[in-house]
Structure 1
C-alpha cells in the first residue's frame, strides 16, 4: 500500500508541476472552456495532448459527480495522454432529473473538465478530456439502454453513492423498495441505473453482443460484490435465465477508490477563473489518488496500472484499512464538526478537541480491528490521513462529509463496532 501511494503521489507531482493560478486583473471576458479555446489557455495549464476526434467510447459511467471526474476519468485521461486507450473514452450518463443540469453544463464545454490540484505547496490546473459525450437523461432511460447495448461498450461503471445500491438494513437486496418494485413491473422502461443495465444486458444476450463488466467506483467494502447482488437480484425478479447468464458471464470487480474531492461552490468557481479558465463545473482535489482494482474484466479494460492504479487479487485488505480509518475517520470529524459549527475538515483537524477525538478513536478503537497491508501498518496509515485531512488548501465541508450519514455509518462505522463487541473491546 505504501508503494502504491508513494508512486501515485510522486507521479502526480512529476507530471503536474505546481504553479499557482495566474492573477487576472479583469477576467470577465474569459472564453468559455471548449475544444476550440484550449489553445488560448495560459501555458501553465496542462491540456490534453491527444486528438479528441480520435477517441471512441468504450465505457459508460453513470453518476458524473466531482469524484468520478477527479478519479477514474483522470486515470483514463492520463493513459490517453500516453497515446493509448483511445478506444476507451467515456460516455457520461445520469438517471436522476437533476443530472440534466450537469449534462447541459458539460455539453456546453465539450465535456471537458478543469481539475485543480490543491497542495499546501501550491496549486495547479489541468484540463481533462476522456469524456466525449453525455447520454440524454430520460424517465425511461431508453437512450441509455440503447447505448449500453452497443458491443463497443465493454465497461459500465457507476458512482451512485454508498446508499444507492438498494440494500436492506441487513445488507440484502431490497426487493421491496418502491424503485425496484416499479422497475420489476416495467423492465423495458426502468427508472434506475440497475434496471437499465439489466435491460441492456438482456438486449446484448439476444443479439450476441456479449456481456460487459459492471464496475462500482463507490466507497463500499466489497463494492463489486454489492453491485452483483443488486444487478443479479433485480434480474432474478424479471427473468431467471437472464439472471443466470449475467451471473455467469458478467464480472463485477471489487475496488478501493481514494481521493479527497470537495464540492464545487463559489470559491471554486472563482479559483478556476484565476487560472484564466471559464469552467462552470470545475473540480478541486488533493494531491493524492489511489485506485486498487480486482483484475476481473470480462470484456477487456484499459491499462490503468500504467498510470498508477494497483491491480491485485487482495482488494479487501486495502479497502478495509481505507474505509474504516479514512472514511470512518471522516465521519468522526464531520459529525463533531457539525455539532460545534466547524466548517471544514481541515478546521476540524486544527480544533484541539475534535482532533483529539479523531486521534483516540482511530488509534485505540479502529486500528486494533484493521490489518496491515503490505508494508503499511494501521498507525502509519492514520499518520498519512492526518496529513491529508489537515491540508488547509482543501475546503472540504463538514456538511458534505456528514451528509447522508445513515448510509455512510452503515459501511464505515458499524463494522468496527461489531468487531469490537465480538471481542469485548472498547467502543
Structure 2
C-alpha cells in the first residue's frame, strides 16, 4: 500500500482510507491554549474539540504548548505534521476505528521561546487555558496540603519571571499581562486526575502569585474561573507496532499516532468566565457539581489501574490486561472495590456503581489495549495520595475494612525494591524514586519505615490500626510471595493467620 506522510498537504489523499477533518483548518481561530500535549489530551479534549469543529464551529481551535525540554519529541512531531495526528480506537472486538484529528492548529515549544507562550496565553482571542500536566505538576505537598516553594524550578521562576520553567510561572506572567492591558480574564481548566482539580489549580496558582506577584491576586479572584472536571479515557503509550500497523493498513505515515479505548467521558462544572465551546453537543456533560463523579472515578478507575500496575509488576506482567485477566488479581480488585471503595462513595444519584464497576473490569481486561504497566506505575508517589489514600482515610474514620488497601501499599513497598517475583528488574519512574527505594530497603528490618514518607502518606504512620494491617500484609508478601497473598486475601486467610 502506498503511504503518505501525515501533513496538511497530504491530508486529502487519505480521505478514502480514514476519517479526516471536514473543516478548513486555516480558518479556525485559536480560542484554547493547552499545556501538555501528550497522548491523553490528544485522545480526549482534542478529540471532543475536533468533533465540534466538524460542526462548523471556527473559534475554538487549540494551541498546544510543550512545556518541558522532555517534550521536544512531541513538539517536533506535531510541527512536522502541521498539528495533525491519527487517533486509533481499539474496540473490544479487536477492530480499529481510525480518525485524523485536526483541532490542534498551533503548537509552541516553551523552552525555545517562553515569552511567545506567555503572549499567546495573554492573547485576547484565548478564552480558556487547559492543562494536562500530570498529578505531580501541581507542586502539591500531601503532608502539608500546601504549595512547595522548596522546588528549585519554582525558585527559578521567582528569580526569572520572563523565562519561567513551570506552569505557575507562565500563568502568572500571562495573567499579569491581561491585567495590565485591560483585557478580560479567562478560564483555567485542569484535565488531570485530581479530585477537585479546579480547586487545586486555583489554590496552587494563588499560593504562587501571592509570593511572586501579590498585587495580581485580587484581579485573578475576580477575572479567572477554575471549573472542576472529571476526565476518563484509557490511553496507553503508543508502541512502534501501532505506527507500523497504521502505515501498512491505512497508508498513513504518522510518527506519533494515539491509541485508546472506545470508552470516553468528560464531566465538567459549567463555570467559564469568558465563554466556552459547546462540548455538550459532542458528548461532554456539564453539571453543577462534579465531585461525586470524580470521587467515583479516582477511587475506582485510577486506583484500580494503580493496583493492577503495582501488583501486576510484582507478578511479572508487563501490561494491564495481563494483570486484569489473572483470576486471583481480578477477584482481588473486585473485592477491593466492593468492600473498601463503594461503601465510602455514598449514594450517587444517577450512577449505578455495580454497572460502573463491571465496566471497569471489562475495560481493564481489554487485551487489545496493551497498556504498559511501567506507564501506569510511573510517578506512583503522586498518584497514591490521590487514588488510594482517601479511601484508606475514609475507612479509618468509619472503622471499616483496610485489608485490601493495606496489601496494596505493602506491595508498593516491595515493588520499590525494584525486583519482581522472578528477580527481574522493575523499571521505575518516580520523582522520589531514590527516597522510595531507600525506605523500601529499610523496611526489610522495619516495615513501618516506608510509611514515614510524609510527602506521600501524611500522618498515616500514626494510625496503629493501619500500621498493624500494613505490617501484617508486608510480612506475608515477604514470606509467601505476592501471588499467594493476593489469593489468601480473597479467601480471608490473610486475616485469620
Q: Same fold (TM over 0.5)?
A: yes
* Residues matched between the structures, number: 399
Query: In the alignment, which residue of structure 2 is the partner of 1:59?
Result: 32
- Tell me what 1:11 maps to: none
- Name 2:127's counterpart in structure 1: 154
Say which of 91, 113, 129 aligns to 2:102: 129
For the Cα contact (< 8 Å) 1:140–1:191, is it kept in 2?
no
Matched with 2:12 is 39
The match for 1:347 is: 322
1:115 has 2:90 as partner: no
Report the Cα distance in structure 2 between the residues aligned to 1:367 and 1:380, rounded to whole angstroms.
12
Distance 2:354 2:346 in 1: 10
Give the CA RMSD over aligned residues: 1.3
TM-score by length of structure 1 reads 0.91
Give the 3-state SS of the residue equivalent to 1:133 in structure 2. Answer: strand
Q: What 5-or-longer segments of structure 1 have no aligned partner?
A: 1-23
Task: Confirm or deny: 8 A CA contact 1:49 1:81 kept in the other structure.
Answer: yes
SS of equivalent residue, structure 1 residue 164 = helix
Q: Report matched runs for 1:208-357 at 5 Å.
A: 208-273=182-247, 274-357=249-332
State how far apart, in whole Å, the 1-side matches of 2:28 and 2:391 are: 44
Q: Residues 215 and 252 of structure 1 are in contact (CA less than 8 Å); yes or no, is this contact kept in structure 2? A: yes
Q: Secondary structure at the match of 2:20?
A: coil
SS in 1 for 2:31: strand
Shift of 1:33: 0.4
Deviation at 1:139, TM superposition (A): 6.0
Aligned to 1:105: 77
> Does the 8 A contact of 2:34 with 2:130 survive in 1?
yes
Q: Give the match's secondary structure for 1:135.
A: strand
Q: Which runs of 4+ in 1 moved over 6 A?
A: none
- Is contact 1:166–1:230 with CA below 8 Å preserved after alignment? yes
Check whether the contact 2:33–2:65 (CA below 8 A) recurs between aligned residues.
yes
Contact 2:114 2:162 in 1 (8 A): no
Work out the CA distance in 1 between the residues paired with 2:110 and 2:162: 16
Partner secondary structure for residue 216 of structure 2: helix
Give the 3 Å change call, closer, same or farther, for CA 136–343 of structure 1 in structure 2: closer
Contact 1:59 1:156 (C-alpha < 8 Å) held by counterparts: yes
Given candidates 195, 202, 207, the residue that maps to 2:176 is: 202
SS in 1 for 2:105: strand
* C-alpha spacing 1:42/1:302, structure 2 compared with 1 (3 Å): closer
Alpha-carbon distance between aligned partners in 2 of 1:244 and 1:268, rounded to the nearest angstrom: 49
Contact 1:42 1:275 in 2 (8 A): no
Larger radius of gyration: 2
Aligned to 1:370: 345
Q: By percentage of residues, which structure has more helix? A: 2
The answer on 1:400 being equivalent to 2:375 is yes
Hey, what does 1:77 align to over in structure 2?
Answer: 50
Contact (CA 8 Å) 1:372, 1:378: kept in 2 or not? Answer: no
Counterpart of 2:230 in 1: which secondary structure?
Answer: strand
Distance 2:126 2:15 in 1: 35
Task: Note the alpha carbon deviations across 1:231-264, whole angstroms, 9 max, x for none.
Answer: 1111110222201211221000100000000101
1:94 is displaced (CA, Å) by 1.8
Equivalent in 396, 399, 405 of residue 424 of structure 1: 399
TM-score w.r.t. the length of structure 2 is 0.78
Check conservation: 1:233, 1:243, Cα contact below 8 A. no
Cα distance in 2 for residues equivalent to 1:109 and 1:240: 41
State the alpha-carbon separation in 1 of the partners of residues 74 and 149 from structure 2.
30
Cα offset, 1:42, TM superposition: 5.6
Check whether the contact 1:79–1:306 (CA below 8 A) recurs between aligned residues: yes
Matched, 1:193 2:167: yes
Provide the secondary structure at the position in 2 that maps to 1:117: strand
